[in-house]
């Protein structure tokens, strides 16, 4: 099979399209013909070596799969040959999705939504799965609560907004002005232009000084320390960003705040719930660009550096199968 292989970490030029052996499914595993994958910030972080201690070279990376089951191992009970599925491969355990075939445990696989294509479905497992983990599993967001989502136009921000609106929350988000119209179409109640507004002042003004019930951090920096300033009593902060520098959380102490640190986990249950939301129209893919596997480096470059489109938003798909 063809695969994008990294023999060393570094720039986008380090990818090599090579012929490698097609894997075989073992007990409780299925072999999937990969029709499409997508690109996430985790992908370029892995490629450049941020997690080099977690991986052994050479390695096939990639963290989204949408495809078709072509072979099942012994003990598989919930899937059959021909099933269309989608999922996130086990992170740092085995190889990833930048290949024509992939083997996965049936416990992490979900049935692909019927009303979208493989390319569209491939935009969901990691990004929307992370959003589900943050909102439903950790924050347990409730109807009529208020939430600030940092980075609303990002790959995780977009499904997080849609899921929060599906739960009946009032949603605030930060984004550049060029993306405001799109985010309002998603249902955001108020978009804050972080280049022109101080989001802390704006949130306190919009909430009459009460603050929000939940803050979702997808950007890092000083967000953790600053979030305490805009939390309601018993508020929650959920972050998926590595903490690079020590943070002073004194402002959260007086709010009796709870902090959640998320590194997404794989399981079928959340994929099944995402499928229901996609099929009833409450969660929609925002696929903006597609590359072939042979141009995986260009896909990474667009997401990481925005070199060919500084205003890019949404997801980047990678077409693999036909």
pLDDT digits (tens, 9 = 90+) for 89-143: 999 988 999 999 999 999 999 999 999 999 999 999 999 999 999 999 999 999 9
| Predicted pLDDT of residue 242 | 81
Share of the chain above pLDDT 90, in %: 90
| Predicted pLDDT of residue 208 | 96
The per-type count for the chain, helices as H runs and strands as E runs, is: 10, 16
Contact between residue 320 and residue 34 where contact means Cβ atoms under 8 Å apart = yes
Q: Can you tell me whether residue 185 is helix, strand or coil?
A: helix
pLDDT greater than 90 at residue 218: yes
**Of 41-45, 144-148, 247-251, 291-295, which gets the smallest average pLDDT?**
247-251
Q: Distance (Å, rounded) from C-alpha 260 to C-alpha 217?
A: 10
Name every residue whose Cβ is closer than 8 Å to that of residue 84 and which is 6 or more positions away in sequence.
66, 67, 68, 69, 111, 112, 118
- Confidence class for position 247, pLDDT limits 50, 70, 90: confident
Ordered alpha helix ranges (H), 167-253:
180-185, 199-206, 223-227, 250-253
pLDDT greater than 90 at residue 221: no
pLDDT greater than 80 at residue 164: yes
Q: What is the mean pLDDT of residues 214-224?
A: 91
pLDDT greater than 90 at residue 11: yes
| Predicted pLDDT of residue 220 | 86
pLDDT greater than 80 at residue 244: no
**Of 3-7, 210-214, 225-229, 290-294, which gets the smallest average pLDDT?**
225-229
| Predicted pLDDT of residue 246 | 83
| Predicted pLDDT of residue 303 | 96
Sheet bearing 59-60, strands edge to edge: 15-19, 2-6, 59-60
Q: What is the mean pLDDT of residues 202-210?
A: 97
| Predicted pLDDT of residue 265 | 85
Name every residue whose Cβ is closer than 8 Å to that of residue 208 and which is 6 or more positions away in sequence.
none
Q: Distance (Å, rounded) from C-alpha 275 to C-alpha 301?
A: 30
Q: What is the mean pLDDT of residues 13-32?
A: 97
Q: Distance (Å, rounded) from C-alpha 48 to C-alpha 52?
A: 8
| Predicted pLDDT of residue 52 | 92
| Predicted pLDDT of residue 138 | 96
| Predicted pLDDT of residue 243 | 78
| Predicted pLDDT of residue 222 | 86
């Amino acid at each position: 099979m063809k695969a994008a292989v990294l023999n060393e970490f570094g720039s986008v030029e380090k990818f090599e399209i090579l012929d490698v052996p097609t894997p075989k499914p073992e007990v409780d595993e299925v072999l999937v013909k990969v029709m499409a994958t997508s690109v996430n910030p985790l992908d370029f972080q892995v490629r450049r070596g941020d997690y080099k201690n977690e991986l052994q070279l050479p390695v096939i990376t990639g963290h989204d799969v949408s495809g078709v089951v072509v072979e099942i191992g012994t003990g598989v009970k919930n899937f059959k040959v021909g099933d269309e599925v989608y999922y996130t491969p086990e992170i740092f355990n085995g190889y990833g999705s930048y290949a024509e075939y992939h083997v996965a445990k049936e416990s992490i696989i979900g049935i692909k939504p019927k009303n979208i294509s493989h390319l569209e479905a491939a935009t969901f497992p990691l990004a929307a799965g992370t959003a589900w983990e943050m909102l439903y599993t950790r924050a347990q967001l409730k109807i009529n609560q208020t939430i600030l989502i940092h980075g609303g136009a990002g790959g995780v921000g977009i499904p997080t907004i849609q899921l929060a609106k599906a739960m009946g929350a009032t949603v605030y988000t930060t984004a550049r002005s060029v993306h405001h119209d799109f985010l309002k179409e998603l249902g955001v109640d108020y978009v804050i232009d972080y280049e022109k507004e101080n989001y802390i002042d704006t949130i306190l003004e919009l909430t009459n000084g009460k603050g929000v019930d939940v803050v979702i951090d997808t950007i890092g920096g000083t967000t953790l320390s600053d979030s305490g300033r805009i939390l309601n009593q018993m508020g929650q902060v959920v972050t998926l960003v590595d903490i690079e520098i020590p943070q002073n959380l004194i402002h959260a102490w007086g709010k009796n705040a709870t902090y959640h640190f998320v590194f997404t986990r794989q399981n079928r249950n959340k994929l099944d719930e995402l499928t229901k939301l996609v099929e009833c129209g409450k969660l929609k893919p925002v696929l903006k660009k597609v590359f072939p596997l042979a141009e995986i480096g260009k896909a990474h470059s667009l997401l990481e550096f925005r070199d060919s489109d500084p205003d890019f938003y949404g997801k980047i798909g990678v077409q693999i199968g036909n």
